[in-house]
Amino acid sequence: MDKPKYADFLSADAGNFRYIEKSSPQSSNLQFLTYGVYELNGAARSGNLAHPSEEALLFCWKGAVTVTLNGADYALEHYDVLYVPRNSSYRLAQKQGESKVIACRAPAEKAHPVFHSRWQQFSKDEKRIRHLKGKDVFLMFDVGEGADKLIAGYTIFQPNQRSWPPHNHTDQEEVYIFTKGRGSMEVYAEEETKSFVRSVGEGDAVTIPLLNYHPVFSQEEELHFIWCIAGNRYWVGDKNKDFMTGKVDKLTT
């Protein structure tokens, strides 16, 4: 007979791993996107995590974690991104410190290959960067990578800049998740009926339904945010060059 093992006491506030769901189609006016945050504190290891019938993107916002996905380990550091195929199982782990991993997911019919984009590499690759006036866009998961609906990246605004021209989409919904700095954001279908004008800061997010313009404004410091799209797969500036030149007052894709 095996020797009995000791019990564990878990106080009411114990726990070194948790998931906080921030938005889903059930709680927003989005059709596809669900967004949440994994938080790890100290030595932490999750159980198996899976999203039946959905593909996902994991963004390492703070700290560093190891993701075990389909039997392989992927080290995620600051701003790294990992694509999780439909119906795949994964685990998150760290040895110490505090980490936050943002997860965005959407329904998918097909299972595409895992894709690991490293910020240290992609942030220096001009093929992945789109330079706009006062801001840079980094394509971390672009149309060249396999997926049903998702594409994503980071945008970094220099101080005291704004989005120009305002644009909206007929076939893409989005979430913007702010990871550094403070600024403001507007979301509106028409200028005359503009009602969503909000200050935004680190950890805030804004959902963007179809046909809504969504300009961002930075303040006295750099403003960083994740943009994650579900729908037809393109980045607005690659599809419509007027977005890059800024020679129109607004545009629709």
Q: Is the pTM of this model over 0.85?
A: yes
Asked if residue 79 lies in contact with residue 101, where contact means CB atoms within 8 angstroms, the answer is: no
Long-range CB pairs of 142-147, under 8 A, 24+ apart, other chains included = 142/235, 143/233, 143/234, 143/235, 143/238, 145/83, 145/112, 145/115, 146/112, 146/113, 146/115, 147/55, 147/83, 147/108, 147/112, 147/233
Mean pLDDT of 81-110: 97
pLDDT bracket for residue 129 (50, 70, 90): very high
What's the pLDDT score for residue 220?
A: 96
pLDDT surpassing 90 at residue 121: yes
Separation between Cα atoms, residue 113 and residue 180, nearest integer Å: 30
pLDDT tens for residues 8-65?
888 887 789 999 999 999 999 999 999 999 999 999 999 999 999 999 999 999 999 9
- Per the CB < 8 A criterion, the answer to whether 138 and 123 are in contact is yes
pLDDT at 135 over 90: yes
| DSSP 8-state symbol, 8 | -
pLDDT of residue 15: 81
Mean of the per-residue pLDDT values for the chain? Answer: 96
Q: What is the mean pLDDT of residues 191-197?
A: 91
Mean pLDDT of 141-153: 98
Which pLDDT value is given to residue 31? 98
Neighbours of 195 (CB within 10 A): 8
